Amino acid sequence: MPRTHDIIVIGGGSAGYAAARIAQAEKADVAIIDHGPLGGLCILRGCMPTKAMLRSSDIAVLIRRATEFGLQTSEVTVNLPAIISRKNRLIQEFTDDRIHSLTSDRFTLYEDHAHFLSPTDIQVGPIHLTAQAFIIATGSVVTRLPIPGLEETGYLTSDDALELTTIPESMIVLGGGPVALEFAQFFSRIGVQVTLIQRSAHILSDTDDDLAMPV
């Protein structure tokens, strides 16, 4: 016999967890399916890690401007391994909190891959589940672009850049969206010569012009 839930959420990241939390608040029997690692894109590989790194580079810029505020400081040196270590500590705290929430008795958590058997049935490892409704919030993965010569040249994905511990002399960032700009700003502010390449007429082309053009 299949296990029955009112709502099954596939993906335990920010969107999936928010949906599950709202459904549970309405007294629904909610299950979450996530094959791991638990935490979700935003916490593990997205907005939170980049913000932690940007905070370090922002402080470096402020220190370099100290004389504007009547302060004298020594030259700022960047310890990238220490920046990454701090980022990892913060992300672990966020991850632990999310895992605590996902494994609470508010939800039933299944940690495995899932595939649909029918519009109302789903297989999670060896377990057969059924539900009235499904919410798909599986997140995203890094896209490998078919750019001629890229594989032979070698490159870093956004995931790789989050763990880089050696400061390069120069860097080309392909893209002009939010993720590209965050990394371009971070590495530029820690002393890397950054070149941004993108195909649209201007950066942040997916946003309104009144937001993108000042940037």
Domain that holds residue 183: 150-201
93 lies in the same domain as 32: yes
Query: 156-208 pLDDT, tens per residue?
Result: 999 999 999 999 999 999 999 999 999 999 999 999 999 999 988 888 888 88
Indicate whether 97 and 179 sit together in one domain: no
Do 55 and 105 lie in one domain? The reply is yes
Question: Do 32 and 108 fall within a single domain?
Answer: yes
140, burial (CB in 10 Å: exposed 0-12, middle 13-18, buried 19+): exposed
Domain boundary among 94, 113, 136: 136
**Are 16 and 40 within 8 A, CB to CB?**
yes
| Domain assignment present for 215 | no
For the segment 96-112, the average pLDDT, to the nearest whole number, is: 95
Q: Number of structural domains, the chain?
A: 2
Does the pLDDT at position 140 exceed 90? no
**Is residue 141 in a domain?**
no
8 belongs to a structural domain: yes
pLDDT grade for 209, boundaries at 50, 70 and 90: confident
Classified as helix, coil or strand, 130 is strand
Window from 82-86, 125-129, 165-169, 176-180 with minimum mean pLDDT: 176-180
Last residue of a domain, one of 105, 136, 167: 136
The answer to pTM > 0.85 is yes
Mean of pLDDT values over 24-43: 94
Q: What is the CATH number of the domain that holds 171?
A: 3.50.50.60
Do residues 88 and 104 make contact, with C-beta atoms less than 8 angstroms apart? no
- Domain presence at residue 145: no
Same domain, 18 and 121: yes
Q: Quick check: is 36 in a domain? A: yes
> Does residue 189 form part of some domain?
yes
In a domain, 29, yes or no: yes
Amino acid at 148: P
Is residue 208 in a domain?
no
Amino acid at 126: P
With a pLDDT cut of 70, the percent of the chain lying above it is: 100
